[in-house]
A and B are shown apart, each in its own frame.
Chain A
């Protein structure tokens, strides 16, 4: 959240309200006001914590997706990847308990393997798109199917459950808090800040932007395009791994239904946040807000009776299309104004 504050500073510096930057934040504020007026419980401490914790999964993944999309790529495999990593984590921890008993080391082993799997899976996506010269959409469509079917296979069509002893040790990672803020939210904040700095204050972020904007210009500017693009997928994999690490203790299980459609929610959060799908323009702060908007919509529908909760997807869909339309609208208006000057 401190990230969005940073983002909001920028237009102020130039004494010009940039709708493109402030738009998502404005939308979130309106949504909060709407939610509160429909049901004051919306801003109750329990509910706010709930929204933040729930948006952490999609939010963390979406921060990674911001890099991939900014550099002109796309990753459809993140939902399946999360399910696959969760499944393998559980298998590894369960078999570790069989040999060495349940301890904090069991959980750390699970976390370590999750990180390795995430980085590895991201590297595979990156390698196939850059060195294999296959379009990112195709590559990640393929790996999406592979991970989804692997987790189904591991679970034998059912559910993989974490050993109860390990669950007891692992449980606090999702359910406990520090300074009254749940750990998943801390992870989300950490990922968002690191992501924002990486995108806006390092050469890597600038290179992502340049590649997504025009790959040829990037190549002629001596940027190692393949390497940077591969790194965006590795970052994405790492983010999926972190999201999975905080997700597994929530239910203690993984199945074919884990993480379904997360890829689309993550992409939606990125787009609502103002990042351009065709690349070249990335906003990590916007992505964080986008993830919060998506979760808040579902939450408001849960708290009120006006619209059926079953229409959650429809409302989110309308918001996505409206967000992109508005951003493009302001973009055009801005250009016209400049041309007129």
Chain B
């Protein structure tokens, strides 16, 4: 069995020890094991639901090779994905579903990513990303991180200005989440200082950063963000329950009003308020989590993969919300593995590699090739100076 596992993993070009415990693997490796499991069963029909959501570009390519090999052998594959370029690259026919309804099944040659998106949203999807405001270079620095180190990251220094959207790019596992969690006090930091609004901040417990106005929205909405087996209201107010206390008792009415406001503001669609959150679509869960985070009325919002595994329409909504928050004067750190998203939204982009900051990009430099160069280690901050010297 060990040999067979090794062989299947080998055929996928993944280097995972068959004896390793699943818990010790990275999310991407877990996904590859899951895929290897499906392939090892010699299935004739294979249904893959968002298999690439957590895979890097290289891993996705490996997966595609496997899928093409399988289809060549006569295996039928249903490939469910939000990533339109993947669909275009892989599928012969495309079926679009929207709100539980079959919209159309069309052969891929007749489609463009735009036309698929249009079918998915049901309206013209003209501007996925809102127009970028010119960043205000004179805006005060609201968050200043100096020499931050924690498990897996070291020597992280950067400033965040008021009203700025600061992108954090990098490969999966490059330490972006660790930086965010160390800043807000979810994990212990081993070195470095965090200054908030010009004063040293004591964010030793996440409650303190929330109270100060710094909120972190996790990328793991099912494991860390939301309670899947309860309704919308307890989820929305869990972070800020203190606001809904009258005397010593919870004020149900005030919680209800909060939910009403949030569903309107973030367009959360649920059949009724008693629906368990686990039954909502990924997009609605994500919007609920955004609502939960915004309940704390933060001045700085750290969003970790805010559009992972959600449909284009919701993505567009979230992008516009992010831009609107920045325009209101909120500062946003946007951690994302979707290059287009980082490029489309950020005023400035920091690229991480192996737990360190590899480079900073501004204005016209924010392009995919440049980000990849830093993320893959082809280029390092300081290279330019050396060349010019």
Contacts and interface: CB of A to CB of B under 8 A. Distances in A.
Interface of A: 14, 197, 201-203, 206-207, 209-210, 213-214, 216-224, 280-281, 338-339, 341
B225 A203 contact: no
6 contacts: A209-B234, A220-B206, A220-B218, A222-B210, A224-B205, A281-B229
B250 interface: yes
A211 to B, nearest CB: 10
Contacts of B218: 220
A224 B239 CA distance: 11
A222 B206 CA distance: 5
Given A217-B224, A217-B225, A217-B227, A203 B234 contact: no
A216 B186 contact: no
A206 B234 contact: yes
A219 B230 contact: no
Interface stretch (B142-150, B157-165, B166-174, B241-249): B241-249
Contacts of A216: 220, 223-224
Contacts of A341: 271
A219 B207 CA distance: 9
A213 B224 contact: no
Contacts, number: 67
Interface size bracket, B side: 20 to 34
Contact of A203 (B186, B223, B224, B242): B242
B250 A201 contact: yes
Given A219-B206, A224-B207, A280 B229 contact: yes
B221 to A, nearest CB: 9
B230 A209 contact: yes
B207 A202 contact: no
Nearest to A223: B238
A219 B186 contact: yes
Q: Interface on chain A toward B: helix, strand, loop, or mixed SS?
A: helix
A206 B226 contact: no
Nearest to A276: B229
Contacts of A203: 241-242, 245, 250
B52 to A, nearest CB: 25
B105 interface: no
A206 B243 CA distance: 14
Given A210-B238, A222-B210, A202 B224 contact: no
Contacts of B205: 222, 224
B279 interface: yes
B274 interface: yes
A216 B224 CA distance: 5
Given A203-B250, A220-B224, A210 B186 contact: no
A201 B245 CA distance: 9
Contact of B250 (A202, A213, A220, A224): A202
Contact of B274 (A14, A201, A223, A224): A14
A217 B235 CA distance: 10
Contacts of B229: 213, 280-281
A231 to B, nearest CB: 14
Contacts of A338: 275, 279
B225 A220 contact: yes
Given A202-B250, A219-B186, A210 B234 contact: yes
Interface in B310-365: none
A206 B206 contact: no
A14 B275 CA distance: 13
A284 to B, nearest CB: 15
Interface in B238-285: 238-239, 241-242, 245, 248-250, 271, 274-275, 279
Given A201-B250, A206-B241, A206-B250, A220 B234 contact: no
Contacts of A201: 249-250
A311 to B, nearest CB: 37
A294 to B, nearest CB: 27
A214 B223 contact: yes
A339 B234 CA distance: 22
Nearest to B218: A220
Contact of A210 (B207, B227, B245, B248): B227
Given A202-B248, A219-B224, A280-B229, 8 more contacts: A206-B241, A216-B220, A216-B223, A217-B227, A222-B205, A222-B207, A224-B205, A338-B275
Nearest to A220: B224
Contacts of A221: 238-239, 292
B82 to A, nearest CB: 22
A335 to B, nearest CB: 8
Contact of A217 (B226, B241, B245, B275): B226
Interface string B163-193: 0000000000000000000000010000000
B218 to A, nearest CB: 6
Contacts of A223: 238
Contacts of B225: 217, 220
Contacts of A197: 249
B305 to A, nearest CB: 14
A203 B238 CA distance: 9
Contacts of B206: 219-220, 222
A213 B279 contact: no
A77 B179 CA distance: 42
